[in-house]
Amino acid sequence: MAFALTLVLSLLITPGSIDAKPVSEADRAKSLQGQPQMYFIPTSNPKEADHVMQQLKDGKSPEALNLIPANKHHPRKQTLKQMETEAAKNPQTYPVKINPVTKADDGDSWTPPPFHYDDIQFDECVENDNASKGWIKNHYSYCWSNYVVYSDPAGCGPSWFPFGCDWVSFRLTVIGNSYNGTRAVSYNYKIDDIDMDLDSSGWIGSKVSVSTKCDGISETRDCIGDDSPDTRTLAQWQADGEGSTYFDSDPPPITAGNKDQVSFMDLWPRVTVDPPGSKYPPITSDGSKEKVRTDSADYLFVFKPFFYPKEGAIFANAQPVFYYDMNNPYFSIMKEAFQHHKDALTAPGSLIPGIKGRPPLTRLYPNYDPVQKRANDNAKDRACRELRNTLPYDPSERGYECDEFPFATTYEGAGAGDGRFSVRYIPRAANNTHGRWLGAWYAYDRILHKDQFYIDFKE
């Protein structure tokens, strides 16, 4: 009786069903040799993906092809500080698309361009080289795409019997969208390009489950949504290959250390393949994690064009860049400000921060640190007076104002005390409209107090 029970339990236990101490990928791959496994192969190069799958069919070992077996993430106790530190480590940056505009108002009537999400499209995702590990296009758009291969290596390879290898593959693409105006994120997923071995035609009945898993901060109510798997046979996925899910986050209480009610969620795709019959076990694997930050900062808004979200969610594993669209007619009114800041950053020997290769800029919201904002203003005013005394005319009589870089709304401004800043007199309209555009960009990209960012130039 005891022997029979032991035998039954040994048959029920499948790879990954027991938590064990961590082992290296090499040791894990070695221990799984000869067993059915599931692998991810990037979709960005279909010919290379086909070549890898053909090598598997021909008997090449997954280890020789550098394929990593199925892996699962596990929930963990996470704090706000820990999540903030993790998000700040990623050096990835991204461009921000601006709607092409041919005409702009002048002076006081100038308004920022409309906010634009620029979401990732399906073909754009599967063709992107970074999508296999997770690609952030901008703060509101993310995707992950891989071929999923379930393979039984037993019997694969050159043989007098040509149909000894069982395998099935399909493409899984996940596109995530966060929002400016709500503390939420949606994930849309799609299965297509289904293929299998000639003698595995019955595997069209394999059950494939897709879900989005979510792990939030331990002390707050995050990950409000449905993480249950969407399970269909491959035949059903072939007929209807799309699905979606949605997660929300309740704002935590306002505290001295978290005035903007910031929270984080780690999200990742999970896929399970369960071949028909009882010969092969179901295998589950997870895609890469992506970090979403939610906030309820009430100062991220612009009055025109009536854009007033007081909360939002962004993909946080990227550093934002404020791009100067140098040749766009819509911004020609602020060309002198653009040129001043470009000169300050690119002049020979310049050490002014704010451009890649140097320290980034750090936003300063004046209401949260009025002392530093006042220090920036005072140091800038002193430098502007000294500059004005060198000019043969009164710049104010010509409609000029003193512009500073880095901005007074950054911790790297003139009040930093290191002398790494620049002042220049430019037309009042250029100074004012640039300030309006900077404030709008802060709101559009949800740049919170103490968030870091770079400046770059689209020529």
Q: Is residue 53 part of a domain?
A: yes
* Tokens read off for 418: 């290191």
Q: Residues for the chain: how many in total?
A: 459
- 244, 278, 295 — which closes off a domain? 295
152 and 278 inside one domain = yes
For residue 364, give the nearest of 309, 406, 424, 403 by alpha carbon: 406
211 and 342 inside one domain = no
Higher pLDDT, 252 or 84: 252
Tokens 């020609």: give the residue. 332
Mean pLDDT on 219-229: 89
124 and 244 inside one domain = yes
Q: Is residue 3 part of a domain?
A: no
pLDDT the model gives residue 87: 75
Confidence of residue 95 (pLDDT cuts 50, 70, 90): low
139 and 252 inside one domain = yes
Q: Which helix (H) or strand (E) holds 411?
A: none
Higher pLDDT, 2 or 391: 391
278 and 338 inside one domain = no
329 and 286 inside one domain = no
- 278, 295, 312 — which closes off a domain? 295
- What gap in Å lies between CA 226 and CA 116, rounded to an integer? 28
CA 51 to chain centre: 30
Higher pLDDT, 121 or 17: 121
Q: Is residue 63 part of a domain?
A: yes
pLDDT the model gives residue 14: 35
Pairing of the two strands 452-458 and 321-325? parallel
pLDDT the model gives residue 321: 93
Please determine, for residue 7, whether its predicted confidence score (pLDDT) is greater than 50.
no
Q: Is residue 237 part of a domain?
A: yes
333 and 201 inside one domain = no
- For residues 26 and 294, is the Cβ–Cβ distance under 8 A? no
Residue range(s) defining the domain that contains residue 75: 32-295
- What gap in Å lies between CA 351 and CA 358, rounded to an integer? 8
286 and 343 inside one domain = no
pLDDT the model gives residue 153: 64
pLDDT the model gives residue 93: 63
Q: Is residue 67 part of a domain?
A: yes
Mean pLDDT on 52-81: 75
What does the pLDDT look like over 102-123, one tens digit per residue?
A: 455 566 788 888 888 899 999 9
pLDDT the model gives residue 289: 92
CA 90 to chain centre: 10
272 and 354 inside one domain = no
SS3 at position 346: helix
What does the pLDDT look like over 396-408, one tens digit per residue?
A: 999 999 999 999 9
Please count the structural domains in the chain: 2
- For residues 427 and 380, is the Cβ–Cβ distance under 8 A? no
Higher pLDDT, 178 or 60: 178
Mean pLDDT on 414-424: 96
Lowest mean pLDDT segment, chosen from 221-225, 292-296, 366-370 = 221-225
Please determine, for residue 100, whether its predicted confidence score (pLDDT) is greater than 90.
no
384 and 260 inside one domain = no
Q: Is residue 304 part of a domain?
A: no
**Percent helix / strand / coil, the chain, rounded to 5:** 25, 30, 45
DSSP characters over 136-188: EEETTEEEEEEEEEEEE-TT-SS-SSS---EEEEEEEEEEEEE-BSSSEEEEE
- For residues 52 and 65, is the Cβ–Cβ distance under 8 A? yes
51 and 149 inside one domain = yes
268 and 395 inside one domain = no
Q: Is residue 222 part of a domain?
A: yes
Q: Is residue 373 part of a domain?
A: yes
* Tokens read off for 238: 């072939």
